[in-house]
């Protein structure tokens, strides 16, 4: 049985794999935001609203791309524990339930967790009360 814990925020994801033989951890980094060209004139009104929408839309696409890059690393998991300091854990969980329902059903819990060291994260995932069988 393979259990995986994922600590995720918008910049990176730490994936801890617990199997009967060993414990492994890999880190995936999100792609950097592309620098937006600065506008010389002072935007305002409708121009500012359009710019804000574009920024939010780009951020949404970047997060979705990041989530898709994580999927191949967790496909073989029997149980998944999602951890994170912000709403990203819940967003990740909802994306799995919506777009990857088989993986979404394997999520056992979504827990808010602050930044941890690698050893703390490994210990938390290893000592989690995983279902048997």
pLDDT in tens, the chain (133 residues): 899 999 999 889 999 999 888 899 999 998 754 444 444 455 566 677 777 888 888 888 888 899 999 999 999 999 999 999 878 899 999 999 999 999 999 999 999 988 899 999 999 999 998 888 6
Indicate whether 62 belongs to any domain. Answer: yes
Indicate whether 42 belongs to any domain. Answer: no
Range of the domain at 84: 3-30+48-126
Number of domains in the chain: 1
The three-class DSSP label of residue 108 is strand
**What letters, b where the CB count within 10 A reaches 16 and e where it falls short, cover 64-88?**
eebbeebeeebeebebbbbbbeeeb
Identify the CATH number of the domain in which residue 71 sits: 3.30.420.60
Question: Torsions phi, psi of 83, nearest 5?
Answer: -130, 150
Indicate whether 53 belongs to any domain. Answer: yes
Residue 34 is predicted with a pLDDT of 41
């Amino acid at each position: 049985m393979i259990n995986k814990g994922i600590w995720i925020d918008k910049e990176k994801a730490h994936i801890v794999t617990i199997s009967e033989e060993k414990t492994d951890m890999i880190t995936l980094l999100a792609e950097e935001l592309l620098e937006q060209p600065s506008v010389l004139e002072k935007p305002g009104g409708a121009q500012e609203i359009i710019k804000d929408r574009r920024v939010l839309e780009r951020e949404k696409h970047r997060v979705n791309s990041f989530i898709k890059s994580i999927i191949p690393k967790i496909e073989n998991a029997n149980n998944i524990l999602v951890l994170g300091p912000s709403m990203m854990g819940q967003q990740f969980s909802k994306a799995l339930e919506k777009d990857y329902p088989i993986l979404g059903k394997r999520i056992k819990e979504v827990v808010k967790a602050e930044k941890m060291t690698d050893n703390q994260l490994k210990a938390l995932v290893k000592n989690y009360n995983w279902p048997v069988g």
